A and B are shown apart, each in its own frame.
Chain A
Amino acid sequence: MQIKLQNFTKRFGDTTVIEDMSLSIASGEMIALLGPSGCGKSTTLFAISGIHRIDGGSLHFGDRDVTTLPPQDRPVGVVFQNYALYPHMSVAENIGFPLRVQKLNTAEIKRRVGEMAELVQIGNLLKRRPQQLSGGQQQRVALARALVRKPDVLLLDEPLANLDAKLRLEMRSEIRRLQRETGITAILVTHDQIEAMSMCDRIALMRDGQIEQISTPSEMYERPASHYVAGFLGNPPISFLKAEANGKLMLGAENSLPMPQGVDASGPITLGIRPEHFGPQHQGPTVTGRVSFIEPQGREDLIDVTLPDNQRLRAIVPAGHDFALGQDVNWQVDLSRTHLFNAEGNRL
């Protein structure tokens, strides 16, 4: 089912949270709405689910206009951050509830609940109550309940936020597997870039009620459309340097880099260099500075280099080096992988 959100506007009282946003999702695609809290990603999700009214614009599921449809009538399944399982119902009752609302007969409900439980691999837990389940199990029940009514769209609101690190990994692939198996169109709301990148076909990165960039994870990582996108993706994060472009990129008095190919700029710009593209092990022009911080990570170390003009660059250096604090270094930058942004923050 294709989802098309056009010129979507949402206001709460006098404050406009989202203005004129458009988003279209292909059938069977899983897309992530990524962004910091308060950027409007949950609002968008709730608007699609029908829990929030759409103040302007339209929403289509396929050819069907669902803009004003109440949530009950939308073919949407939602998994909430805290799973929102009904505490007074057993697992089977929880999963069966949407079917019961549809007035299906008991045998049919039982059959479909069983099927669903098998799909999410909790067939042995049907008689339990939610509070007797682990976080991962609850998550599976929530998924089952969201999918049991065979919705056209699956909405996931921060589904992994309440899980511990190990379970999170497991559920990440589990959700992706389910989405693939059912072929459902899914929207994942998250503030975790790894989740977004690892689970989704495309990412819509949101900022202040607007989509900053929408593209595949690798595209977004490789070619961030803006300073904001570049800074949001990547861990450890990208380092930004202020530079003056006048044929060269001047980094203070001591350092300068050649202009990357195909870029034409002058005046103050921002240069973004990811840690994996700076260090003693790369090919390219060099920058001098002094080692100001070393953070061992096991396989590799994170090393901060402070340039003479007090700007910092971070590098990922394979473990086993012998750099020490205070040591002056002269390291290479992988120039072709750097990102340049103008004063407005847009990619050059």
Chain B
Amino acid sequence: MNTSIKGNWILILALTLFSAPLVIMYGFQLIDSVSRPAPGGIIPQEWELTNWRFLWEPIDSARPSIWRVTFNTFVFASTTALLVCAFSITAAYALSRLNFPARRFFLAGLIMLHAFPTITLIIAIFIVLQFLGLYDSLMGVILVKAALELPFGIWIMKGFYDSVPWEIEMAGVQDGASRFRVWWELILPQVKPGLSALLIFSFLAGWSEFILPLVLAPGADAQVLATYMNAVIADDTRPDYGLFKAIGMFYALPVIAIYLLFQKRLMNIYGGGTKG
């Protein structure tokens, strides 16, 4: 098979053309955050860091500090990820390996939930949260987000569990260990790649989440970067794309860092989980 660049120049050209809009957007996302274009133009005129002023001074008297919002977002994303992982590794193991009544039913339910239109339930979810007294709190959004991510998480983890040889489990049982111990000591280490992929993935999902915090936690205490950024953009007195982009860069940095560090694992999740 010919995989040299020379032999594939048409293909590369086509790909480059198709990718151009995205590349331009990424490029200017970066450039505009640290420069100022001429009025009505796009070519950067001056390099400057004033767009990043939001890091050390409030951009508007009504907005909470970016650091507080970032902290919230971090708490939101990481707690969500931990919850999703904790619930998924147990539930998926039960569905994959344990024999108990109604298992079939739960499996069918899982597949159904996997494709369920969750966001349409948001009104009713509000009621539930409200009964729990968790409306307008970070904890409430975390619970909801974690619950909505669960079917995906269980699905992925079940895929990984399914690929662990049964014999390991049998050997453990035969060696005298309880099923719990077998799971904890023998099986869990085998699904570590899946677990870390899920952890990263649900962290990213939490980091990006917009609608849930918007609707379920509108108060200042639970602002996250997504709602913060959207509010800054929506505020029609400040058409400052440079500022938007700087905030956007700030918001995206962890995502990009995670992508660069864990590329392989992220791709893993699609490979492992969605084979159907």
Contact = CB atoms under 8 A, between A and B. Distances in A.
A/B touching: CB–CB < 8 A = yes
Interface of A: 46, 49-51, 70-73, 76-78, 80-88, 97-98, 101-102, 145-146, 149
Nearest to B167: A84
Given A80-B167, A86-B168, A51 B173 contact: yes
| Interface of B, helix, strand, loop or mixed by DSSP | helix
Interface stretch (B59-67, B68-76, B176-184): B176-184
Contacts of A73: 176
Nearest to A70: B173
A72 B176 contact: yes
Given A88-B189, A88-B190, A81 B167 contact: yes
20 contacts: A49-B170, A50-B173, A51-B173, A71-B170, A71-B173, A72-B173, A72-B177, A77-B174, A81-B167, A85-B171, A86-B168, A86-B172, A87-B189, A97-B172, A98-B175, A101-B176, A101-B177, A102-B176, A145-B175, A146-B174
A249 to B, nearest CB: 50
Contacts of B168: 84, 86
Which of A50, A88, A145 gathers the greatest number of chain B CB atoms within 10 Å? A88
A149 B176 contact: yes
Contacts of B165: 82, 84
A85 B175 CA distance: 12
A46 B181 CA distance: 20
Contacts, number: 61
Nearest to B171: A84
B233 interface: no
Given A87-B190, A88-B189, A145 B171 contact: yes
A125 B145 CA distance: 48
A49 B171 CA distance: 10
Nearest to B99: A53
B186 interface: yes
A114 to B, nearest CB: 18
A34 B186 CA distance: 31
A71 B174 contact: yes
Nearest to B179: A72
